[in-house]
Structure 1
Amino acid sequence: MRYKQIDNQLFIENRKRLVSRLKPNSIVIVHSNDIMPTNADGTMVFKQNSDLFYLSGVDQEESILLLAPDFPDPKFREILFLRETNEEIAIWEGHKLTKEEGEQTSGIKNIKWNQDFEKVLYTILAESEHIYLPSNEHIRNASLVETANDRFIKSCMAKYPLYKYERLAPIIYDLRTIKSETEVKLIEHACHITEQGFRRILETVEPGVWEYEVEAEYAHKFLSNRSKGFAYTPIIAGGFNACVLHYIENNQQLKDGDLMLMDVGAEYANYNADMTRTIPVNGRFTKRQRQVYDAVLRVKNQATDLLKPGSAIPEYHAAVGELMTEELIELGLIDRTDVKNQDPEWPAYKRYFMHGTSHHLGLDVHDVASIYKKFEPGMVFTVEPGIYIREENIGIRLEDNILITKDGHRNLMRNIPIHADEIEDLMNK
């Protein structure tokens, strides 16, 4: 791992919170993600299963966590199974966790090699009734790939059909929604790394630069600050490309007079930042660009003020839509008649602002949580309104990461420049 080791108290506390939600005589089994193949003997960069990392801090493939909090023998109540390493693996693949390192990372004292898993599982099941297994129940999940957890669900239910199977996702998703102080600091550090990338861009962007060169500057700053790189595929969109919501080609040259929208974020220790900024390629906004920019910024600031305990995403998005409607009227993009005659299922503002304003953020960029769960202190959200005027070649989105507190909120990106005057000043130093 590149990041500094996390205090294992985080993972010890996370397990305690999970165990308190389980039914009596239960066990929990969570597998690491696979190393995904590409072609021939190629593989993708490993990305750990978020639930396993949340509960153990282990950032390595072929790992299994088994919790059995009510088992009679205390030493079998928490067990971490790791891939046994040897000299050949060390030569070809590098260092893998030892048992001692597994304990230091997770705070789990009973560390075993994977070959012991089936025997231990059989022993623990003899005293158990409920089996909690994880699945990807994210509302946007569209994966066709079978994971290690998916495979184990099939094999476990076939081999042990008479147990009571339970869904782990609703419990752990609910727990992961509220971030601890340590988690907030990790997200905030990812935001700080993202800030360094953005400030570098303000020094280097000018007409003639290519989108992929901007992407490269971010990558350099991220990697040199102990990040694996981008938290998600970056959007570096100049001119009309900024009106394409999921533009990721990043292969066009930036032109004088255009805007550039950048939706990027660094990851750090598996936690993620998610920032969007829009800047003028030549360092100066035109009058119309500034009008639209300031309108988006006003909506972002007002939307941020709405992020407070007690609300929920559906009504929050509706309220932000009303704010955006007024700004679009002021910009001359829609009028009162459009609003009066609008389809409630697709309000008039959706023509120019067609996506949601906020999503949960954490170990996953679109982090897990029910959209109907009321906002509580400890939740972290993005706030990202935008206006996209295809006929004017203007696409502007602004996005910060916000922690909800008992008194309101705290902007984890408060040090990243966002006001138009400040951006122009930094670009023209």
Structure 2
Amino acid sequence: MHYFALLLIGLPLAGQPVFTDVFPRDEYAARRARVMAKLGDGVAIIQGTTERPGEQPLRQANQFFYISGVVEPRAILIVDGKTHISTLFLNPRNERRETMMFGPGLYPGEDAVRSTGIEAVLQRSEFQSALEAIAKEGRTIYTPFRPEVLGCASASDPIALARATKSDPWDGRASREEAFIEHVKAAAPKSAIENLDPILDELRGTKSPREIAIIREATRIAGLGIIEAMRDARPGMKEYELQADAEYVFKKYGAYGPSYFALIATGENTWYSHYHKNTRALDAGDLVQFDYAPDFKYYSSDVTRVFPAGGKFSPRQREFYTIYLRLYQALMTSIQVHARPADIIKHAVVKMDTVMSKFTFTDATIKQAATTFVERYRNSRANSLGHSVGMEVHDVRNPTDTLEPGQIFTIEPAMLIPAEHVGIRLEDMILITESGYENLSAFVPVEIADIEKMMTRHGLSDAQVQLKK
């Protein structure tokens, strides 16, 4: 070993914290206590994610992070419903990685107990004997069934990937979760194996005040990214250049990365709900649909705005955008706490009918698009206004049929003109409160005058031009 390395091993370690700073320990302890209350005499066993396959930052799987806050590879957590004790199993300390490569980590022992608030933190090799003790009593074991979700994904994404992989005749691998379940069954043949996901999902569906604060900040960052893109947009730029504006903002304010791939569409690409090639150049007559948000401290946001590539709405764009915006606002202002989304939609349609009767149309195609938009809501049988948002951009379902305080979701209805292959879609982050709702993304401009005013300001590309001079 190098002499310099020998000196370093004796030095006190400093730098990054070994345990997450997203929430204090009591937040995770309260979550584990709520899980214990659902387990009876059973135990929950949940494994963390693995090391990354390359030089990538480690991001923990959402279910594991939610219940522990621990960001270490191959960690395993047992939450015991009978003893009300949790035990964390970690890899042993790797001195070279800690002192020379990655900095301080979290390792078995009393320091980890103090850092995490988990009652016992043992060597990962001791998990086998702990499982054997559970198996001897034939206790029910709860563990996640669905594949882990990391950053830039929602549960449906790894589920689809696992299904496709398993059914591929030239692959056929089971998911990591399926493999783990088989190992647990072999070690505990008398134990019933149950799905832990519904228990965790129910808890995740209603956000705590601390979670709301994080999502509020994620939404602020998302909105600032959109505003930066608005200010920078001009004909001739590529869609990916606007993506770069937002990503600068994301990183400046501490995001891990994006919540999902950048959905930046111009012209005919606005027809697609999830267009993400982002390679088209902005034309002077284009509308830009910008949908992008960060993965901030393990929580997501989801905000969409529409603005003209050239900084000014044309008369026809004004008509298209304005009728859409007024109908969109009719839906948003109908939201009420303790109400069923299906009933909210019925009230919204009444408002939409009033908007349509008072609006002056000059373009029959736009009027037809607006009429189709309203009729879609009139004929709706859904009990949902949009998708929930939390640790994932398409988060776990809200746990109730009515909208209750602490639930967060988006509304993002699209108005389409099929013959022109174009569409408009706004999206806002809605928090249900005790008195109604709060639009967390309300500060991001939606009115035409505010958008056009914002687009007169200098953007990042202007700063770049000055640097080149």
TM-score normalised according to structure 1 size: 0.85
Q: Quote the residue 1:234 is aligned against.
A: 262
Q: Quote the residue 2:307 is aligned against.
A: 279
CA distance in 2, matches of 1:426, 1:409: 26
CA distance in 2, matches of 1:170, 1:67: 16
Amino acid at match of 1:297: L
TM-score normalised according to structure 2 size: 0.78
Q: Quote the residue 1:142 is aligned against.
A: 160
Of 70, 73, 79, 1:58 maps to 70
CA shift digits 1:276-328 (9 cap, x unpaired): 01110111111221222222322332322333333445665676678778878
Displacement of 1:18 after TM fit? Answer: 1.6
Instruction: Say whether the 8 Å CA contact 1:308–1:376 is kept in structure 2.
Output: no
Q: Quote the residue 1:111 is aligned against.
A: 121
CA shift digits 1:54-88 (9 cap, x unpaired): 111113321111111313xx6xx211122223124
Q: Does 1:27 align with 2:36?
A: no
Q: Does 1:97 align with 2:112?
A: no
Instruction: Say whether the 8 Å CA contact 1:178–1:377 is kept in structure 2.
Output: yes
CA shift digits 1:245-265 (9 cap, x unpaired): 110100111110111001111
CA shift digits 1:352-399 (9 cap, x unpaired): x9x985111101111112687332111001111221224345421111
Bigger drift between 149-158 and 171-180 goes to: 149-158
Q: Does 1:383 align with 2:411?
A: yes
CA distance in 2, matches of 1:16, 1:274: 30
CA distance in 2, matches of 1:101, 1:200: 43
The alpha-carbon distance between structure 1 residues 104 and 414, as it changes in their structure 2 partners (threshold 3 A), is farther
CA distance in 2, matches of 1:281, 1:248: 18
CA distance in 1, matches of 2:331, 2:138: 48
Q: Secondary structure at the match of 2:305?
A: strand
Instruction: Say whether the 8 Å CA contact 2:300–2:393 is kept in structure 1.
Output: yes
The alpha-carbon distance between structure 1 residues 159 and 315, as it changes in their structure 2 partners (threshold 3 A), is farther
Bigger drift between 267-276 and 50-59 goes to: 50-59
- Structure 2: gaps (5+ residues): 1-15, 148-154, 166-173, 458-469
The alpha-carbon distance between structure 1 residues 143 and 106, as it changes in their structure 2 partners (threshold 3 A), is farther
Amino acid at match of 2:141: I
Of 181, 192, 210, 1:182 maps to 210
Amino acid at match of 1:34: T
Of 311, 318, 326, 1:290 maps to 318
Q: Secondary structure at the match of 1:30?
A: strand
The alpha-carbon distance between structure 1 residues 157 and 167, as it changes in their structure 2 partners (threshold 3 A), is same
CA distance in 1, matches of 2:273, 2:444: 22
CA distance in 2, matches of 1:290, 1:46: 46
Q: Quote the residue 1:129 is aligned against.
A: 139
After the TM superposition, which residues 13-412 of structure 1 pair with which residues of structure 2 at under 5 Å, given as runs? 13-23=30-40, 25-35=41-51, 37=53, 42=54, 46-71=58-83, 77-90=85-98, 91=100, 95-99=104-108, 102-103=112-113, 106-127=116-137, 129-136=139-146, 141-144=159-162, 146-313=174-341, 332-333=364-365, 349=376, 357-369=385-397, 373-392=401-420, 394-412=422-440
Instruction: Say whether the 8 Å CA contact 2:132–2:187 is kept in structure 1.
Output: no
Displacement of 1:160 after TM fit? Answer: 1.4
Q: Secondary structure at the match of 1:226?
A: coil
Instruction: Say whether the 8 Å CA contact 1:276–1:397 is kept in structure 2.
Output: yes
Bigger drift between 227-236 and 12-21 goes to: 12-21
Displacement of 1:150 after TM fit? Answer: 2.7
What value does the CA root-mean-square deviation take over the aligned residues?
3.2
CA distance in 2, matches of 1:202, 1:214: 8
CA shift digits 1:390-412 (9 cap, x unpaired): 43454211111111112111111
The alpha-carbon distance between structure 1 residues 130 and 273, as it changes in their structure 2 partners (threshold 3 A), is same
The alpha-carbon distance between structure 1 residues 375 and 348, as it changes in their structure 2 partners (threshold 3 A), is closer
Amino acid at match of 1:50: N
Q: Quote the residue 2:465 is aligned against.
A: none
Q: Secondary structure at the match of 1:271?
A: coil
The alpha-carbon distance between structure 1 residues 328 and 128, as it changes in their structure 2 partners (threshold 3 A), is farther
- Structure 1: gaps (5+ residues): none
Percent identical among aligned pairs is 28
CA distance in 2, matches of 1:191, 1:79: 35
Amino acid at match of 1:6: F
Instruction: Say whether the 8 Å CA contact 2:135–2:190 is kept in structure 1.
Output: no
Number of equivalences: 411
Instruction: Say whether the 8 Å CA contact 1:65–1:79 is kept in structure 2.
Output: yes
The alpha-carbon distance between structure 1 residues 60 and 295, as it changes in their structure 2 partners (threshold 3 A), is farther
CA shift digits 1:113-138 (9 cap, x unpaired): 21111112222444462111112295
Displacement of 1:139 after TM fit? Answer: 6.7
